[in-house]
Structure 1
Amino acid sequence: MKIAVFHGSPRKGNTYKATKIFLDELTKYRDVQYTEFFLPEAMPEFCTGCQLCLGNPYEKCPHSKYVTPILNTIINSDALIFTTPHFGACSMTSCMKNLLDHLDFLTMNVAPRAELFKMKAFIITTGAGSVAAIKPIKKYLKNWGINRVYSLGFRMFTDRWNKMSQPKQMKFEKKLRRAANRYYNAPQKYPYISTIFMYYISKFILRKYVGIGKYPYEYWKEKGFLIRSHFNKYDVFNKHNLH
């Protein structure tokens, strides 16, 4: 299993330590290989909101030289891991938000990649706002069509892992290792209802309001996402073995 890992902070604090424990458990399975991206190093330029990637192939993005290796790694992976401490108003780091903004063209109504429809993802966060930090990342990933998104967040009440008592460290480590095993063994499932809804509403909008000649419409047509047929028989999710 190939995994792409995205670290939302260069600080290598609690979230990084938790992620390393998670990855250590995963690599006990011999088929697991992972590629790590450290932010902001892997994506040093901030998204300007120019929207060039939403109406054109993503290569039109002024920062495509950073987007391309990330996108290629994602597409060639079997699973994804996103890690971030909670920052600001109990949300993800700006580095992580910037990465997701640069990949906004992957959303269902623009240029989704079929490879993502059978992929699973895991989000790891630490800090008092962990739940709030997980929520927006999960929303992004579900909009990509990711098959299942799992998560684990910790409230540690310290900025250093080794400042916690030994029993508390062992408690968190046990949770992480258990979660890693569940994640590895998690089967592919039927798509989220929200994903199916987004697929159909996107198809309707592209046909009725966007139309021929526009990039999203032409992309969907090329990929076979515009097939007029019953969901359970011929549509895109079944085509890519997502039952």
Structure 2
Amino acid sequence: MKILVIMGSHRKGNTYNAVKQIEEHFKSIENAEFQYLMLADVNLSHCLGCYTCFLKGEEYCPIKDDATSIEQQMHDADGVIFASPVYGMNVSGLFKMFVDRFSYIFHRPCFFDKKALLITTAGGIGQKEVLKYMDLVASVWGFDVVNQIGLMTPAGIHIPKSLVLENEKKLKEAADKFQLALQRKEHKSPSLYDVLYFRGARGSFEELGGISPRDYEYWKGNGWFDKRTKYFVDVPINPIYNILGSVMEIYVRHQIRKLIADGEFQY
């Protein structure tokens, strides 16, 4: 089993040590290879916002860095641990640059056969905000997020023993859940947001096929334009979510057709 850790920290501090504890416990119950991708050490450039990856494809991106290799490492892994400290109530700049660099995956998600574990550390507050953002990114990219952990790791002071034990318990439980999810294989049922995103994106990309042909062909090739398809993967869906998703798709299609009719989009 292969686990890829994407580390959004400049140093091997609290966030790195937390993942190492997960690795230690995980390996005590499962034979696994942990590979650490330290974002501070790879050649990953800032996104230029040129839309080339959206409109033509990521292979036409003018930036020549390690992005292709990094994406392949995510595909090769059985599971991915996304880890970032809290910086200014958000992920670190390194982690945000990583997300921006792979923005095209928001349009063309591809990791539905992968499990993800999310970890953040903070001296005080911000864990909820960071985990919410990381969950959004990983879920839209297709990852099945099996658990998320926010740890309080105060800097420059003695950490109370009770907090150390609490953090250790969280990490052990996370390792257990991650291991079980990797063994289970199947994808969990989508949330309401997941369904709304799928149905809204489907309406958008099908209506805008002339403007975003790469997205259109990708969705068509995956069979996601088929009206019998309710979500990216074949899993049980809450019937109410499906109804609300249908309303979302109808609304999105109506709005885009109106914009096209008004000449807002040029084919």
State if a TM-score over 0.5 links the two structures.
yes
The change in CA–CA distance for 1:159 and 1:221 in structure 2 (over 3 A counts) is farther
CA 168–212 in structure 1, closer or farther in 2 if over 3 Å, else same: closer
Partner of 1:135: 132
Instruction: Specify the SS of the correspondent of 1:28.
Output: helix
SS of structure 2 residue aligned to 1:80: strand
TM (normalized to structure 2)? 0.78
Tell me the distance in 2 between the aligned counterparts of 1:7 and 1:21: 14
Q: Please list the CA deviations of residues 137-178 of structure 1 after superposition, one character each: whole Å capped at 9, or x if unmatched.
A: 111112112223521111222258xx4345543332232112
Relative to structure 2, which stretch is displaced further, 49-58 or 61-70?
61-70
Shift in Å, 1:98? 0.4
Aligned residue in 2 for 1:103? 102
| 2:39 maps to 1:42 | no
Q: Answer with 175-184 or 28-37: which moved more.
A: 28-37
Q: Which amino acid aligns with 2:215?
A: P
Structure with larger RCO (C-alpha < 8 A, sep 6+): 1
- SS of residue in 2 equivalent to 1:117: coil
Equivalent in the alignment of 1:15 = 15
Asked whether the 8 Å contact 2:55–2:211 carries over to 1, the reply is no
Decide which structure has the larger Cα Rg and report it. Answer: 2
TM superposition shift of 1:112: 1.7
Aligned partners of 1:76 and 1:59: how far apart in 2?
19
Q: Are the equivalent residues in 1 in contact too, given 2:45–2:101 (CA < 8 A)?
A: no
Q: Is the Cα–Cα contact under 8 Å of residues 147 and 192 in structure 1 kept in the other structure?
A: no
Query: What is the CA-CA distance between 1:82 and the residue it aligns to?
Result: 0.9
* Number of the residue aligned with 2:243: none
1:163-178 counterparts in 2 under 5 A? 163-178=158-173
1:148 paired residue among 145, 155, 162: 145
Query: Does residue 2 in structure 1 map to residue 2 in structure 2?
Result: yes
Task: Provide the rounded CA distance (Å) in 1 between the counterparts of 2:23 and 2:149.
Answer: 14
1:96 aligned partner, one-letter code? F
Instruction: Say which of 215, 237, 242 aligns to 2:233.
Output: 237
Distance 2:156 2:171 in 1: 18
Aligned length: 230
Pair 1:216–1:176, CA change in 2 (3 A): same
* 3-state SS of paired residue (2:29): coil
Distance apart, 1:181 and its partner CA: 0.7
The 1-side partners of 2:121 and 2:229 are apart by 43
50-59 or 14-23: bigger deviation: 50-59
1:33 to 1:143, Cα distance in 2 relative to 1, 3 A: same
Aligned-partner residue type, residue 37 of structure 2: F
Structure 1: unaligned runs, 5 residues or longer: none
Aligned AA (2:28)? K
Quickly say closer, same or farther: Cα 1:35–1:74, change in 2 above 3 A.
same
**What is the Cα deviation at residue 236 of structure 1?**
4.3
Match of 2:178 in 1: 183
Letter in 2 for 1:121: A
Query: Would the aligned equivalents of 2:2 and 2:33 in 1 still touch at CA under 8 Å?
Result: yes
CA distances 1:9-34 after superposition (whole Å, capped 9, x unpaired): 12111111111101111122334222
2:119 pairs, out of 101, 110, 124, with 124
How many Å separate the matches in 1 of 2:13 and 2:39?
14
Q: CA 1:22–1:126 in 2, change beyond 3 Å: closer, same or farther?
A: same
Find the counterpart in structure 1 of residue 251 from structure 2: none
| 2:216 pairs with 1:217 | yes
CA distance in 2, matches of 1:39, 1:68: 14
Distance 1:30 1:181 in 2: 10
Q: 1:208 to 1:199 in 2, by over 3 A?
A: same
